[in-house]
């Protein structure tokens, strides 16, 4: 089964909650840096109070103790997923895992940002490999260190699945229904293609948020996921 997560990339609590109430077909909403920085942790409470799961996408990346404390704080908020950068290393990921043990919060590791191309990975980040090779290597290290899953580009799903095995979760943004514009996403798959490739969750923002009928758009994505 592949589930839909709607990315609430909006500025206010009112617009976020308007979407949460309207989009009944979606069980889980992503709160990212924009909405969290605008509204604070209260936004998590109100989404949960509406009966929905929360994916808190703040991409933690710091020393192990700091990330562990932040992960614990997120688990105390009752969120279902948090993200952290695999580049923070094994100790950071293991500390975060320990902090969320015995809670329902699951850790998703971000590998190489899809905004970085091969040239930037080599010359700016200083890795002697392609972005895809680095992503696969980070993914397998992160899951070994304790991450429950990986966030990756839809085109990388099969490579990442090989690297992390069957039990790890794979969550993919960059998904576009055939009826939607590509926006700034360069390498997209449709929800169905991502499901067939083995994604556990797809994250969709603008095609749903900017649709004239967001509830209908979300239902269409869910139908496409189910095939």
Q: Tell which residue, 131, 126, 132, 141, has the closest CA to residue 88.
A: 141
**SS3 state of residue 42:** helix
What are 3's strand-pairing partners? 201
Q: Rule CB under 6 A: is residue 32 a binding residue for ligand C5P?
A: yes
Between CA 33 and CA 56 the distance in angstroms is 9
Q: Looking at 44-52, 63-71, 122-130, 201-209, which segment touches ligand C5P (CB under 6 A)?
A: 201-209
Q: Give the one residue of 64, 88, 174, 177 binding ligand C5P; rule: CB under 6 A.
A: 174
When CB distances to ligand C5P are compared, the closest residue is 205
Q: Looking at 69-77, 132-140, 160-168, 197-205, which segment touches ligand C5P (CB under 6 A)?
A: 197-205
Helical axes 42-49 vs 13-22, angle rounded to 10°: 20
**Minimal distance, residue 9 CB to ligand C5P, in Å:** 5
Which is closer to ligand C5P, CB of 63 or CB of 125?
A: 125
Active-site entry in 30, 52, 59, 155: 59
Binding mask 58-97 for ligand C5P (x = CB under 6 A): ----------------------------------------
Between CA 195 and CA 82 the distance in angstroms is 22
Between CA 195 and CA 213 the distance in angstroms is 24
Active site members? 59
């Amino acid at each position: 089964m592949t589930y839909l997560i709607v990315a609430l990339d909006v500025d206010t609590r009112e617009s976020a909650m308007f979407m949460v109430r309207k989009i009944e077909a979606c069980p889980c909403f992503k709160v990212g840096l924009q909405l969290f920085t605008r509204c604070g942790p209260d936004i998590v409470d109100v989404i949960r109070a509406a009966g929905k799961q929360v994916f808190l996408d703040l991409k933690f990346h710091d020393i192990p103790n700091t990330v562990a404390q932040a992960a614990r704080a997120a688990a105390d908020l009752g969120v279902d997923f948090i993200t952290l950068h695999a580049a923070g290393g094994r100790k950071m990921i293991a500390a975060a895992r320990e902090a969320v043990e015995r809670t329902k919060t699951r850790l998703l590791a971000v590998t190489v940002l899809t905004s970085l191309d091969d040239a930037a990975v080599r010359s700016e980040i200083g890795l002697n490999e392609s972005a895809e090779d680095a992503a696969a290597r980070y993914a397998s290290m992160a899951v070994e260190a304790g991450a429950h899953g990986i966030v990756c580009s839809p085109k990388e799903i099969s490579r990442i699945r090989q690297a992390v095995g069957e039990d790890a979760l794979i969550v993919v943004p960059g998904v576009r229904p055939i009826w939607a514009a590509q926006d700034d996403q360069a390498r997209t798959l449709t929800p169905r293609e991502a499901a067939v490739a083995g994604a556990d969750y797809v994250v969709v923002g603008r095609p749903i948020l900017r649709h004239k009928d967001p509830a209908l758009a979300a239902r269409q994505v869910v139908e496409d996921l189910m095939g």
